[in-house]
């Protein structure tokens, strides 16, 4: 049985396994943390040019996070030592920023999580660097559509399986593979909490969505097979078949009649404009 737990403003926050139902103060906190995440991601678009190193991008994330009164939740998280994850081309997620330079035609995911006044604004986008081949642009576009289709079915009474189903049918309709090894998650005062938000599923299955739930949806979609492997650095996840992989992530809250996106772009640059 799925357990739910109503969270008062003063409650100590620990991982209990239950799905937390937050009140207005939780939504207010997530709005502020989510807005900062969006501002950071909005600013990064201009830096996605050939020759820039991923550690330079990570530095911008650090500086903007601190300037916004937050700390990067990934710094020191399970031994991770950077302010963002930057995943290029066939890297699925958890790419480690470093001396690697971006090149023309790369697709580049940046995942940020400012921790602001105790709330985690977790979001990521995939950017296009320079002139990107149509095949890769289509992957990025469809992956964004997968996220938004998942959010579109998120409302009270729906189930987590409905979200997974919406994502899976759209991705597989384009003959893409949906990554199973990583999923969305409850978020809020904890970075990673119950429930697991799987990006595949059957309609009408899984925990029911209730007002006050706060979680991420963050589909990772591959041009090829869904299978991934983690490199020897212990973090970098890549597609086993080396096919390109894209991802988008929002933190959302279930309202009385739908879902509120906490991490939406403030300047309309969330989806790279793709000539069709
Ligand atoms: N931001 C990632 C997520 O969406 C988690 C990154 S954890 C790290 O859940 F340690 F790899 F940074
Ligand atoms: Co996340
Ligand atoms: Co994230």
Q: What is the pLDDT of residues 188-206, one digit of tens each?
A: 999 999 999 999 999 999 9
| Average pLDDT of the chain to the nearest whole number | 96
Which tens digits make up the pLDDT trace of 213-250? 999 999 999 999 999 999 999 999 999 999 999 999 99
Is the pLDDT at 178 greater than 90? The verdict is: yes
Best CA proximity match to 94, nearest among 235, 220, 198: 235
249 Cα to the center of ligand 2, angstroms: 7
Ligand 1 within 6 A of 74 CB? yes
Q: What pLDDT is stored for residue 275 in this prediction?
A: 47
Q: What pLDDT is stored for residue 189 in this prediction?
A: 97
Q: What pLDDT is stored for residue 91 in this prediction?
A: 99
CA angle 53, 81, 232 (to 5 degrees): 80
pLDDT category of residue 274 using cuts at 50, 70 and 90 = low
The CATH class that applies to domain 19-261 reads alpha beta
Rounded to whole angstroms, how far apart are CA atoms 158 and 156?
Answer: 6
| Strand spans (E) along 174-272 | 177-178, 184-186, 193-197, 214-217, 220-222, 228-230, 237-239, 245-247, 250-254, 259-261
Rounded to whole angstroms, how far apart are CA atoms 175 and 184?
Answer: 22
Q: What pLDDT is stored for residue 271 in this prediction?
A: 82
Which of the ligands is closest to the CA of residue 230?
A: 1
Strands 4-7 and 19-22: parallel
Ligand 1 within 6 A of 122 CB? yes
Is the pLDDT at 12 greater than 70? The verdict is: no
Is the pLDDT at 276 greater than 60? The verdict is: no
Ligand 1 within 6 A of 94 CB? yes
Q: How far is CA 204 from the centre of its chain?
A: 24
Taking a C-beta distance cutoff of 8 angstroms, is the pair 142, 107 a contact?
A: no
SS3 category, 183: coil
Rounded to whole angstroms, how far apart are CA atoms 177 and 243?
Answer: 10
Ligand 1 within 6 A of 261 CB? no
- Protein residue with its CA nearest to atom 1 in ligand 1: 111
Mean pLDDT of 39-55: 98
What share of the chain has pLDDT > 70, as a percent?
97
Rounded to whole angstroms, how far apart are CA atoms 166 and 183?
Answer: 15
Kindly give the number of the ligand 1 atom that is closest to the alpha carbon of 235.
11
Lowest-confidence pick of 21-30, 205-214, 267-276 = 267-276
Phi, psi (degrees; rounded to nearest 5) at 177: -100, 135
Rounded to whole angstroms, how far apart are CA atoms 217 and 196?
Answer: 10
SS3 category, 24: helix
pLDDT category of residue 11 using cuts at 50, 70 and 90 = confident
Q: What pLDDT is stored for residue 10 in this prediction?
A: 64
Is the pLDDT at 272 greater than 80? The verdict is: no
């Amino acid at each position: 049985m799925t357990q739910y737990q109503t969270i008062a403003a003063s409650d100590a926050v620990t991982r209990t396994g239950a799905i937390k139902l937050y009140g207005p103060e939780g939504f207010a906190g997530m709005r502020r943390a989510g807005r900062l995440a969006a501002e950071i991601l909005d600013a990064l678009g201009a830096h996605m040019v050939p020759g820039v190193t991923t550690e330079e991008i990570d530095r911008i994330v650090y500086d903007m996070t601190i300037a916004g009164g937050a700390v990067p939740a990934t710094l020191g998280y399970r031994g991770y030592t950077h302010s963002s994850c930057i995943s290029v081309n066939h890297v699925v997620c958890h790419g480690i920023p470093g001396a690697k330079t971006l090149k023309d035609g790369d697709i580049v995911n940046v995942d940020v999580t400012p921790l602001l006044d105790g709330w985690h604004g977790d979001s990521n986008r995939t950017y296009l660097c320079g002139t990107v081949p149509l095949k890769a642009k289509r992957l990025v576009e469809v992956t964004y559509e997968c996220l938004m289709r998942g959010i579109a079915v998120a409302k009270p009474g729906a189930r987590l399986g409905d979200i997974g189903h919406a994502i899976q049918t759209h991705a597989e309709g384009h003959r893409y593979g949906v990554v199973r090894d990583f999923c969305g998650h409850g978020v809020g005062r904890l970075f990673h909490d119950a429930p697991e938000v799987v990006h595949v599923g059957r309609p009408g299955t899984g925990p029911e969505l209730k007002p006050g739930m706060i979680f991420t949806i963050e589909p990772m979609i591959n041009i090829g097979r869904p299978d991934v492997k983690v490199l020897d650095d212990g973090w970098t996840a890549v597609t086993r078949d080396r096919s390109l992989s894209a991802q988008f992530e929002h933190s959302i809250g279930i309202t009385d009649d739908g879902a509120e996106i906490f991490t939406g772009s403030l300047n309309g640059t969330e989806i790279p404009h793709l000539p069709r």
